[in-house]
Structures are given as C-alpha cells and as structure tokens.
Amino acid sequence: MNSSKITRLLFVCLGNICRSPAAQTIMESIITKQGLTNAFECDSAGTYAGHTGEKADPRMRHAASRRGLDITHRARAVRSGDFDNFDLIIAMDDSNYDRLYRLAPSIEAADKIHRMCEFFGDRFAGRDYVPDPYYEGQEGFELVLDMLEEGCENLLGRILKQEI
C-alpha cells in the first residue's frame, strides 16, 4: 500500500442488510480508533438487490449497538463499477465470492476479491465462511460480529504490513 493513497474496501454479502454493513461499520470503527481515517474508505453491497435502500436489519443494528457500533448504511447492490472503485472486495461466503467472480470484468479485477475467512485468527481459524444470520436467533448475530471483529482487525493488519 502506498502511504499517500486511499485504500478502498468493499464488503459484500447477499442482502447487504446483515453481515456486510456490520463488517463495514466494524472496519470503520477500527480505522477510526487507529487514527487512519484519511487513508481508508469503506463501503458495503449485496449480490441480491431486493433490499436496496433499506437500513440494516434491526436485529443486527441492535446487536451492533450493544458493542457501541452504529450501522447507518443503506443497502445497495454490487455493480461492475465497484471493481474500478475499490482496491479490495471482501466476500462473506463462497456464494458471494462466486457471484463476484462472475461479475468481475477482468482477471485483475477478480484478483481484488477475497473471502473474509482468510483473515480469521486464533478464535475462528478453520471456519470457512461468515454464516448468514438472517434466519438465526440472537446468537447468530453475535457470532457474526465476533467473526467480523477478528477478521477486520487481521485484514487491516495485513494491509498495513503490505501483505495484501
């Protein structure tokens, strides 16, 4: 990463109302705490457009607010221009990854796509996706937030060390 450049991160799930807006907000919070707001921009999007314009699911907003996080994002669908506008595109599960891969306009664009599970550390090592909490109870939302906190910390660390 060039120190004078803004690094743009896009987090992607299916509906853009649970996992990816939470990932965006967690990453923004970590970036703010580290004094790096001038160096990064974060956004999120869904591979499914049916929730476009909606706020995040109230269950996710509630779970996040108990951790001091305010999710304000409004859902939008992924678009092909995202591959020009973002440096890294982080998918929550294999289905998101496959949809993104098919959307990518070039091999270089496809190289920007990663899975969040690549960045899991001690706690979630071996887990291979961020599970969809939409049809789950409260524990599902807490698990997603725990995974995203670990994944985002490690993702930022890898970017700062220029390992990704």
- Residues with a catalytic annotation lie at 13, 19, 132
| Cβ-based nearer residue to ligand 4NP, 7 or 9 | 9
Using CB under 6 A, which residues numbered 19 to 48 contact ligand 4NP? 19
Closest CB to ligand 4NP among residues 114, 157? 114
Binder to ligand 4NP among 15, 23, 43, 117 (CB under 6 A)?
15
Dist CA 23 CA 65 (whole Å) = 14
Please state, in angstroms and as integers, the Cα–Cα distance from residue 123 to each residue in 67, 132, 162, following that order.
18, 19, 23
CA distance 64 to 142: 8
Among all chains, which residue has been given the structure tokens 């649970």? Answer: 18
Residue with CB nearest ligand 4NP?
A: 15
18 lies in the binding site for ligand 4NP (CB under 6 A): yes
CA dist 71 and 60 (Å) reads 8
* Residues 17, 59: Cα–Cα separation, whole Å: 10
In the complex, what is the shortest distance from the CB of residue 22 to ligand 4NP, in angstroms, rounded to a whole number?
8
For residues 77, 81, 83, 89, the Cα torsion angle rounded to the nearest 10 degrees is -20
Size of the site for ligand 4NP (CB under 6 A): 10
Closer residue to ligand 4NP, CB minimum distance, 17 or 30: 17
> Per rule CB under 6 A, is residue 10 in the interface with ligand 4NP?
no
Binding residues for ligand 4NP, rule: CB under 6 A, are: 13-19, 50, 132, 134
